[in-house]
Chain A
């Protein structure tokens, strides 16, 4: 009998070792594949060694091969460390979110902000949204602030910061809702730290996607409430979906996938479909009903048509619309570079989730791995809103990274040497995110905004402001006080086709530029060339040397068409 037992243990040990080796190979493969090509060979090798080191330490612990090393209780100094790190993470988050305002004034964020200011003035001026905008529920919170005479930009900033706090709260609740052992404190702290130091989350804040940043905390909170079997998840998911349908798609897909997985499991085990499955499926249907109720069928149909026309892929859009269809945000390659700190933890967490995540509530918790899978698919291929899906992918990836990081922190904070190593690692993450936040320029510098506001008084009713490149369109429109604004492919006043714009941008003939500009005759055109804009040498020469161009301020030139009679331009 002892011989048999020894054989069995050695067999099990061998099988487990083989499994671990297989997972190690898979893990290293995923890390290798995820590292963007821009990482040089030497750095790639160092990073792979670091990742392998983390795997060797963490894998036995997260898969509970060394149960005795996961004590349920933290020592007093460890509790102090985790509480301190949680408080620090919140303060760091606040500092990173306020830094752009402190450095660059009240308008440092977002691309569409100029348009949102216009929407704000439009709907609050009318006292009603009516048919002016879609997603009514996203704009109703503006009215109380408008009635209190809070300026549009300040109102948008208040809500934008508030959405970040709501997301932190929702993530806290989600971390507390995970069925993890030993204690929640390290897991919650790890998730807060990962979120606060996430470059992708900062960039999402920087781009100021109003509706998405409003929907995301609601979706994360709904996920946490769903795991807790609270009915509050249903109205929250309904509101979130009505606010920003695109953000809800990964969650809806994951919900459907987890239901199918559960049904298949029942079928495989030859069990009848259980009550839990019926309740969750009914909840999903209720969310759909709420969506139609809050959003309206017409608006929903418009979204559906957009998806149908492009057959789901941004790559099916016209060449100049691809960036818009993908959602203006960082590329997939940049996202992978931003992920370097959390990547090993996230991959270990994702590969070992059956061990630490599926211990309890297996029906509902399946939503999280399903969401990770769907978000990876939507973020990796050229689907509509691919780049915006990366924000959701980052959030769910951080959720999977938090448990291995918590184990890592717990293990290393038991003695001073380990605590010093942890300190170095965390400091590296903080410094790298802090530097990025500090060095990240605004979309529009304060002096450029001041120039636009100053020139607004000079622009007559028949004159035009002009944003020769689309990167400044909303800003030029908003800060010239919504004067007639010419911008490529956008707004009412643009009279040029894409080939005409190309002739203006990169054509060699100044005569042709005069012809094109004469389409707006008789008027003065106030052109804004921002510091982020790089002009073709021919256009730059035209700006600087043409006698009809007058420099008004460092970034604004006036072009007078009055001397040129209007004529038909091919």
Chain B
């Protein structure tokens, strides 16, 4: 793997495997401590990423860099939106 690809992978992994779950936990796991949200983040991220990618599998002709990137960004944005709403309730 080229160094740029390694860097891109290191940047992409948290968007896939940590951030969505953590934001979902912030939004919907109440009451909870920060450590509990962090502990739940990997499992929730795995499930939510897999689900969003399943939508591509079922609707698009094939997986491409474009549709996967858009799906991951939409997932993270939606989770951030939920977290923001719940924090300002």
On A, residues with C-beta under 8 Å from B are: 124, 126-129, 136-138, 140-141, 143-151, 158, 162-163, 165-166, 168-170, 172-173, 176, 214, 217-218, 220-221, 224-225, 228, 230-232, 235-236, 239-240, 243, 294
Contact = CB atoms under 8 A, between A and B. Distances in A.
Contact of B57 (A128, A144, A218): A128
Contacts of B5: 148-150
Given A140-B50, A141-B53, 8 more contacts: A128-B62, A137-B51, A150-B9, A162-B17, A169-B41, A176-B36, A176-B39, A218-B43
A144 B40 contact: no
A338 B1 CA distance: 40
Contacts, number: 117
Contacts of B28: 230-232
Chain A interface helix/strand/loop/mixed = helix
A239 B13 CA distance: 20
Contacts of A228: 29
A218 B46 contact: yes
B19 interface: no
B46 A214 contact: yes
Closest 3 CB pairs of A and B: A127-B62, A140-B53, A166-B42
Nearest to A146: B63
B24 interface: yes
Contacts of A217: 42-43, 46
Nearest to B16: A144
Given A137-B54, A140-B57, A165 B42 contact: yes
A146 B65 CA distance: 10
Contacts of B46: 141, 162-163, 166, 214, 217-218
Chain B interface helix/strand/loop/mixed = helix
Interface of B: 1-2, 5, 8-9, 12-13, 16-17, 24, 28-29, 33, 35-36, 38-44, 46-47, 49-51, 53-54, 56-57, 61-65, 68, 72
A496 B53 CA distance: 41
Contact of A236 (B8, B43, B57): B43
Nearest to A235: B47
Nearest to A149: B5
B72 A144 contact: yes
A148 B8 CA distance: 8
A221 B65 contact: no
